[in-house]
């Protein structure tokens, strides 16, 4: 066991922290959380933890939503019983944590192996002391299983010692249907979902197993005489199952999972978990030389991205804080499609497909939302849970402590185009025709139908979309938001493309789908008319997109006068003045630049970035990554690098912005996007891949892998030798464009090309 408790030696794979600051415990619980897309466990203190301790040791199960009692209650991801508690005591009371020299509450996140390790010393004055090392994992190989191990070495003193292992929160937020010694079955109070947990424990003293005394369900105790040099090992395996509705055979799934875990034993369970993580890293790691801080930030990002997804469950998606906390109640936003899907599409297509199938399974909820408001097609929920119904709260407390109405659930309508965008990107990158035929086409068609219904013709001969909110949420009830309208137009055009493709390649499927949707040629013609006449806010003379109608007439606030601020601009200016200003909360037109660069003529991309970048207050964790991506593509690599490190700091650096509510998973996806789509210049095109590398001066090399239409490729950008090398590791030969020039690559012929020296934007 001792060897298993040693972290990876390479510091770039390890995140460490020491100390016990109550004010930081919640942030540490987030940062060091472990997850596998089904189970998520925060890294709170669990040994001799005080009931009054700061930081919740919560465990979460994906998709386990319930609605609390009360008027206008909103569904939320609920914590489940936490099976990590350990209490170690002597006859005079519990051992206490030692805060002298050496580790006092060291946490180590071994990102390479997907493990949480912790270490501390427990003492009883000067009489007894012991060193405790703990390992936690949730299996990446079999997601229903969790493993906890404690290695306690008595350093000094002899005494009767008692160890209790227990669960916390057996009666919190859930209604118990069955509680046995090793099995619990609960159901949620309102949604009727079932949760099953089965657990088994084993304690060995110097290699000999000792039988426990069962004090209560999920509570075991051992008492023995300790002595110096004694080794006590506690092993706890947990099997978890979730069901949509209660049914017969309560507990059978969890017991079967526990049996599988016990049959494996902790060594094989750990080995298979590590092997699964090794496979994930071989497909998704980014190896960066020259910037140690950026390398660790990327490993941290990729670790949490790989931890967040579950390709085996197409009924769940990834919330704004994944399974590391419950900010935003565990709800799913556009973050998943725009900031996370790019990573999964080219490194883990199976996970990407599952996440998009979640949107297919919630399509009826999107249809119902559109119909409720008098529109056709699919209007996806701005905040979504398991049903796809809109779950955005109607009100909240604003920065000035006043109650404000939340309009995003009604007005932030670009979500439907965001989902369509991810569907198209996935199909383009994977060539997964089965997905397109069975699910993707229907999503594209129904979202396009929504936009054609939503946009209304007016006397100027154009179609307009009024009373919306764009990504910049500081401005509400606006008309013709450029991001919304251009994405809507793109959505309609791709739906028309897929309608033509189905007619040509799969006529039987087109016949069945068009009949199912009651979709005829006259409606398709109307869609085309809407797309051609949709107002976009583009000024052909300047190349600038007006963010929304009337934006250019608003007060132009110089944000440089507020440099060094620690609160969002809407707090400084007040809600009303912010709405009457050009201050932007987060990337809006800049987001359009990132997603649809082809909508900008030559030179207009730089003009728009230079106009909007100084007007953005970055009041959202999504913003800096999008700006960094665009800056990198435009060749402003040092500005992009600054945005990279600012994004990395959101979750990795202790600032006044607490992260106790969970990791900002979209920001982590944004770090990956900046590196691969920004600095490496990767573009996913209908005819293949394109690369246009421009690395920061401090990055001497950048290497990563990706998948493209059943091909695996390895890419290395060597800035020292000014070369780009692309190796095809599996699949058929293909063409890759480098700075627009086509190059062939095959299994026996790598692509080697020169890379260009970065130039200042506008210089070349």
Long-range contacts of 756-763 (CB under 8 A, 24+ apart): 756/693, 756/694, 757/722, 758/635, 758/637, 758/694, 758/695, 758/697, 759/635, 760/635, 760/636, 761/606, 761/634, 761/635, 761/636, 762/606
- Measured in residues, the chain has a length of 764
Phi, psi of 182 (to 5 degrees): -120, 5
Catalytic (active-site) positions = 473
Sign of CA dihedral 505, 511, 517, 521: positive
Rounded to an integer, what distance in angstroms lies between the CA atom of residue 101 and that of residue 311? 45
Q: Is 307 left (phi over 0), alpha (psi -120 to 50) or beta?
A: alpha
Rounded to an integer, what distance in angstroms lies between the CA atom of residue 64 and that of residue 70? 19
Rounded to an integer, what distance in angstroms lies between the CA atom of residue 684 and that of residue 686? 7
Q: Is 238 left (phi over 0), alpha (psi -120 to 50) or beta?
A: beta
3-state class (DSSP) for residue 8: coil
Q: Take residue 246 and report the two structure tokens written for it.
A: 């209660």
Rounded to an integer, what distance in angstroms lies between the CA atom of residue 3 and that of residue 160? 28
Rounded to an integer, what distance in angstroms lies between the CA atom of residue 249 and that of residue 244? 14
Q: With CA atoms as reference, report the closest residue to 497 among 462, 438, 463, 448.
A: 448
Helix or strand holding residue 26 (H, E): helix 25-31
Helix or strand holding residue 273 (H, E): helix 252-284
DSSP string, 725-753: EEEEEES--EEEEETTEEEEEBTTB-EEE
Q: With CA atoms as reference, report the closest residue to 396 among 287, 473, 319, 451.
A: 473
DSSP string, 555-615: B---GGGGTT--S-HHHHH-HHHHHTB--BSS-SHHHHHHH-GGGS-TTHHHHHHHHHGGG
Rounded to an integer, what distance in angstroms lies between the CA atom of residue 600 and that of residue 608? 9
- Which residue bears the tokens 């040092």? 638
Quick one: DSSP state of residue 478? B
3-state class (DSSP) for residue 349: helix
Phi, psi of 691 (to 5 degrees): -135, 140
3-state class (DSSP) for residue 153: strand
Rounded to an integer, what distance in angstroms lies between the CA atom of residue 613 and that of residue 623? 10
Contact 158, 226 (CB under 8 A): yes
DSSP string, 670-689: HHHHIIIIIIS--EEETTEE
C-alpha neighbours within 13 Å on the C-beta side of residue 363 = 23
Residue 543, Cβ density class (10 Å: 0-12 exposed, 13-18 middle, ≥19 buried) = middle
319 vs 81, 173, 188, 322, 330, CA distance in Å? 20, 20, 19, 5, 5
């Amino acid at each position: 066991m001792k060897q298993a408790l040693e972290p990876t030696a390479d510091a770039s794979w390890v995140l460490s922290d020491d100390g016990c600051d109550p004010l930081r415990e919640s942030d540490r619980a987030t940062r060091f959380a472990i997850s596998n897309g089904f189970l998520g466990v925060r890294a709170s203190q669990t040994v001799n933890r005080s009931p009054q301790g700061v930081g919740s040791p919560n465990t979460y199960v994906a998709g386990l939503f319930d609605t609390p009692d009360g008027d206008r209650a909103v569904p939320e991801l609920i914590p489940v019983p936490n099976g990590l508690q350990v209490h170690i005591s002597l006859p005079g009371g519990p051992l206490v944590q030692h805060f002298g020299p050496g580790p006092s509450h060291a946490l180590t996140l071994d990102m390479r192996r997907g493990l949480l390790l912790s270490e501390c010393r427990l003492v009883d004055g000067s009489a007894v002391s012991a060193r405790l090392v703990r390992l936690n994992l949730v299996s990446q190989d079999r997601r229903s299983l969790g493993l906890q191990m404690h290695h306690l070495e008595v350093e000094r003193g002899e005494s009767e010692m008692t160890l209790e292992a227990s669960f916390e929160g057996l009666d919190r937020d859930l209604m118990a249907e069955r509680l046995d010694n090793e099995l619990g079955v609960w159901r949620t109070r309102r949604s009727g979902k079932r949760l099953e947990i089965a657990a088994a424990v084993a304690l060995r003293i110097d290699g000999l197993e000792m039988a426990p005394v069962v004090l209560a369900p999920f509570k075991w105790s051992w008492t023995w005489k300790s002595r110096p040099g004694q080794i006590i090992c506690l092993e706890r395996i947990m099997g978890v199952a979730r069901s949509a509705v209660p049914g017969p055979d309560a507990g059978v799934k969890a017991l079967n999972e526990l049996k599988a875990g016990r049959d494996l034993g902790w060594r094989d369970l750990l080995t298979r978990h590590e092997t699964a993580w090794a496979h994930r890293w071989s497909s998704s790691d980014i190896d960066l030389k020259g910037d140690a801080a950026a390398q660790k930030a990327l490993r941290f990002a990729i670790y949490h991205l790989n931890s967040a997804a579950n390709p085996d469950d197409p009924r769940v998606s990834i919330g704004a804080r994944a399974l590391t906390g419950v900010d935003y109640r565990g709800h799913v936003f556009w973050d998943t499609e725009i900031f996370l899907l790019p990573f999964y599409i080219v490194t883990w297509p199976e996970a990407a497909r599952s996440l998009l199938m979640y949107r297919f399974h919630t399509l009826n909820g999107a249809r119902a939302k559109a119909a409720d408001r008098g529109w056709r097609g699919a209007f996806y929920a701005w905040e979504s849970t398991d049903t796809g119904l809109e779950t955005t709260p109607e009100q909240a407390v604003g920065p000035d402590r006043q109650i404000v109405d939340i309009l995003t659930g009604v007005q932030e309508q670009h979500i439907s185009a965001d989902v369509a965008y991810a569907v198209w990107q996935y199909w383009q990158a994977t060539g997964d025709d089965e997905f397109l035929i069975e699910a993707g086409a229907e999503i594209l068609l129904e979202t396009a139908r929504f936009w054609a219904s939503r946009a209304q013709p007016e006397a100027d001969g154009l179609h307009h979309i009024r009373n919306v909110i764009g990504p910049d949420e500081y401005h509400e009830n606006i008309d013709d938001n450029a991001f919304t309208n251009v994405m809507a137009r793109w959505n309609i055009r791709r739906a028309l493309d897929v309608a033509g493709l189905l007619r040509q390649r799969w006529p039987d499927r087109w016949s069945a789908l068009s009949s199912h949707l009651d979709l005829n040629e006259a409606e398709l013609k109307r869609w085309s008319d809407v797309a051609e006449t949709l107002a976009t806010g583009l000024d052909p003379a300047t190349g600038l997109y007006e963010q929304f109608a009337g934006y250019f007439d608003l007060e132009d606030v110089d944000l440089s006068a507020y440099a060094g601020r620690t609160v969002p601009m809407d707090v400084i200016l007040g809600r009303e003045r912010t709405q009457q200003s050009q201050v932007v909360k987060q990337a809006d037109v800049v987001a359009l630049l990132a997603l649809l660069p082809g909508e900008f003529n030559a030179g207009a991309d730089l003009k728009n970035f230079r106009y909007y970048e100084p007007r953005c207050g970055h009041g959202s964790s999504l913003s800096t990554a999008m700006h960094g991506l665009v800056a990198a593509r435009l060749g402003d690599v040092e500005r992009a690098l600054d945005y990279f490190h600012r994004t990395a700091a959101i979750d990795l650096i202790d600032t006044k912005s607490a992260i106790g509510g969970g990791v900002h998973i979209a920001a982590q996806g944004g770090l990956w996007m900046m590196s691969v789509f920004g600095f490496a210049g990767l573009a996913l095109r209908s005819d293949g891949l394109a690369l246009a590398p421009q690395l920061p001066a401090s990055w001497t090399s950048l290497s990563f892998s990706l998948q493209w239409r059943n091909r695996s490729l390895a890419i290395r950008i060597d800035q020292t030798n000014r070369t780009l090398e692309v190796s095809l590791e599996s699949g058929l030969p293909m063409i890759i464009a480098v700075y627009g020039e086509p190059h062939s690559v095959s299994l026996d012929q790598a692509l080697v090309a020169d890379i260009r020296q970065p130039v200042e934007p506008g210089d070349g």
